[in-house]
Structure 1
Amino acid sequence: MTRTLAVPAAAPEDAAKYFAAELAFEVDPDDLVRDLEAGRTDGYVIVETRAPEAFAQARIPGAINLPYRDMTAETTQHLDRDLVYVCYCESTQCNAATKGALKLAELGFRVKRLSGGITSWIAAGYPTEGTKAPGISCAC
């Protein structure tokens, strides 16, 4: 038996449920940039969950800065609860986006996480705003 198939693949209906659930929690940089390029920003807000210094240096165009450490009922009361909040941080080695998405969800907001963070965004050649060329660090 191959290592690849040492554990049998899931039944198609189970795989469909699993992957549908995964997509309910994440968006990839390509889908997000295509929406931004097409001016399709209705229904969601991009949220940088790292510290303000990181947001100032490099961010996804149109993102707002809500550091996960500062998220409370008071600091999020101005947010529209009808929108989906797409959280991102530095990369897969940083979990600020996960922590931010968790806090927002606990506060009653609908959330998704951007796969790979701003590091994947930049690696794909997508545009950023900010004060310096990307030398991205966790900064959460």
Structure 2
Amino acid sequence: MPANAVTQIPAAPADEAVRHFEAELRFETDCWDTHEALSQQADPGFVLLDVRSAELYAQGHVPGALNLPRRKIIASRMRQQYPAGTLFVTYCAGPHCNGAARAAAALARLGYPVKLMAGGITGWLDEGFPLERDAAL
């Protein structure tokens, strides 16, 4: 079998692959699972944060998401509003944006459990899910 960019480096052994991919799921969720949790449960067990600017949030955001730009994730605000152990899911514009990862890191530094919603707004729209817009727009 001729070598190519896919086969040149062998795949990891199955047990190592299981550990890797299961670990990945501890850090990320996807748009489909987030949508399902939000639409099927009054309390999905997490707070969904849109970490983009207030202007972009107003133009369209995931229904049920709260707007909290990364720079506003500070200890005094978070501890006043959210008990320890609150799980957060962060998202931003999409895979080309690292705002959700930066916000997730800020939340983790404050001791909160956190996951990133892979795909962000781009992934949400790719799944065919609607956005909510502020009524004033």
The TM-score with structure 1 as length reference comes to 0.88
Partner of 1:100 in structure 2? 103
Partner of 2:33 in structure 1? 31
The residue identity in structure 2 corresponding to 1:124 is: E
Partner of 1:84 in structure 2? 87
Q: How far apart, in 2, do the equivalents of 1:103 and 1:41 lie?
A: 24
Partner of 1:124 in structure 2? 127
The answer for unaligned runs of 5 or more in structure 2 is none
Q: Which one has the bigger helix percentage?
A: 2
Partner of 1:114 in structure 2? 117
Please give the secondary structure, in 2, of the residue aligned with 1:74: helix
Shift of residue 37, structure 1, vs aligned partner: 2.1
Shift of residue 129, structure 1, vs aligned partner: 0.8
Please give the secondary structure, in 1, of the residue aligned with 2:77: coil
The residue identity in structure 2 corresponding to 1:2 is: A
Q: How far apart, in 2, do the equivalents of 1:94 and 1:76 lie?
A: 23
The residue identity in structure 1 corresponding to 2:41 is: G
The TM-score with structure 2 as length reference comes to 0.90
The answer for unaligned runs of 5 or more in structure 1 is 133-140
Please give the secondary structure, in 1, of the residue aligned with 2:76: coil
Q: How far apart, in 2, do the equivalents of 1:125 and 1:80 lie?
A: 33
Shift of residue 40, structure 1, vs aligned partner: 5.6
Q: Deviations over 1:118-140 (max 9, x none)?
A: 111012110211138xxxxxxxx
Structure 2 counterparts to residues 15-54 of structure 1, below 5 A:
15-39=17-41, 41-54=43-56
Q: How far apart, in 2, do the equivalents of 1:119 and 1:74 lie?
A: 31
Q: Which has the larger radius of gyration?
A: 2
Q: How far apart, in 2, do the equivalents of 1:72 and 1:37 lie?
A: 29
Q: How far apart, in 1, do the equivalents of 2:15 and 2:87 lie?
A: 27
C-alpha RMSD of matched pairs (Å): 1.5
Partner of 2:57 in structure 1? 55
Determine what percentage of the aligned residue pairs are the same residue. 36
Structure 1 residue ranges (4+ consecutive) displaced by more than 6 angstroms after TM superposition: none
